[in-house]
Amino acid sequence: MPKMINTQLAMQIVETLKSICDHDINYISPSGKIYASTDTARVGEFHEVGYQAAKSGEIITIEQEEESGNVRKGINMPIRFHGDTVAVIGITGEPDEISRYAYLAQRITLLLLREHEIDMKDRNDRARIDYLVRTLVQNEGINPEFQQEVLARNGVETENGKWRCIVFKLNRRYNLYNLSMIETKLQEVFDRMGTHLYTYRYPDEYVLLAEDESVEKYMYMIRELAAQYGDIMQIGVGRRGSFSHLYQSWLSAGLAIQSLGPGENLSLFDTLDLEILLASASPNAKDVFLEKCLKNLTEEDIKILDTYFSCGQSLKMTSEKIFMHVNTLQYRLNRIHERCGYQPRVFQDAVVLFAALKLRKIMRG
């Protein structure tokens, strides 16, 4: 039995043919074994006529049944696929009645074999791409010839262009229905971007490799995706670099995701600065830093500082934005200084508080 033909495929063939001609169908291997049959009692039996049909390559018609019952009336047709006899289809019944189904049965069998071959090829290609992408982003050694073969098969040129890794991370609140919708939508985006270089990393991460030019062109689609699935997906766009440095791009995409604050789900590494250092710090270092800088501040203090820094430390702009008199704002900033030990109006202290607020935002994301 050819390696590509399994029991499931053989059963699909006999059941499909049975639905058309309403006669028992046997799928017989070239060695004569009945591999699948609508008469389940015959599965595993040796079929002498089927064996002879496979050996000769000719259709064998049985006009008379043997008294033993081992040979039944019917037609046994060899099926040739890519120049080889891969099976014999046996249709049980009166030859005159079932002969009209012979050609149709042969065509349907070949179509199902061809469909299965294409499906297996697609699966094999997909598995090779998955392996290539995982290997590249995890910085593992890969056979250069294998890499070039996979890239060439998918029409990918890597010598001159710049590349990015994009990570699509799902949170644990998604269900199977959401996952199905997301996979369909992701596939649409990937197809539009013209790249086949993506994989799913269990349990919650899709990784896409794409040329920088394509990322820029279709960034609007990535933003739309982020807006549509903001409650269950986070997206990190890694740094730009050569194809041989995709590991660094993958790491930076992860940092971009770590830098996300509450209500955010799309981050581009190129827009980060302090976040690069803050997201890379150890959990213990983060906790100690926040404890030292913000421990004694209230939520209202935090809100005032956020606004103050977003307004470039302008008292006038901050007071207008939070509807607070300038003198009151100055008093509140001085109170913040007393509570935490850092004076927001002094540059060095402001840098520390600004970093602490960014870290707090990251950790709450």
CA distance linking residue 163 with residue 137, whole number of Å: 12
pLDDT band of residue 365 (cuts 50, 70, 90) is low
Contacts of 50 (CB under 8 A, 6+ apart): 26, 28, 32, 34, 76, 88, 90
More confident: 116 or 1: 116
CATH of 156-279, one of 3.30.2310.20, 1.10.150.530, 3.30.70.270, 3.20.20.140: 3.30.70.270
Query: pLDDT > 70: what percent of the chain?
Result: 93
Q: Concatenated DSSP letters for 250-283?
A: HHHHHHHHHT--TT--EEEGGG-SHHHHHHHS-H
State the average pLDDT for the chain.
Answer: 87
CA distance linking residue 107 with residue 130, whole number of Å: 34
Q: Do domains 7-119 and 156-279 have the same CATH topology?
A: no
- Give 212: exposed, middle or buried? Use CB within 10 Å, 0-12, 13-18, 19+: middle
Choose among 160, 170, 258, 156: nearest CA to 209.
Answer: 156
CA distance linking residue 298 with residue 338, whole number of Å: 13
State the first-to-last Cα distance of the chain, in angstroms, to the nearest integer.
56
Identify the pLDDT of residue 81.
81
Q: What tens digit of pLDDT does each residue of 186-216 get?
A: 888 998 888 889 988 877 889 999 999 999 9
Helix and strand element counts for the chain (H, E): 14, 10
Identify the pLDDT of residue 194.
85
Hey, what CATH topology would domain 7-119 get? Beta-Lactamase (3.30.450)
Identify the pLDDT of residue 1.
47
Locate the domains of the chain by residue range. 7-119, 156-279, 283-364
For residue 295, give the 3-state DSSP assignment: coil
Max CA pair span of the chain: 112
Identify the pLDDT of residue 261.
77
Best-predicted range by mean pLDDT among 80-84, 198-202, 266-270? 266-270
CATH number of 283-364: 1.10.10.2840
**Strand order across the beta sheet in which 233-237 lies:** 198-201, 205-211, 163-170, 233-237, 266-268
For the chain, the 3-state helix, strand and coil shares in percent, each to the nearest 5, are 55, 15, 30
Whole-Å CA distances, 212 to 26, 30, 216, 260, 337:
55, 53, 6, 22, 45
Identify the pLDDT of residue 121.
63
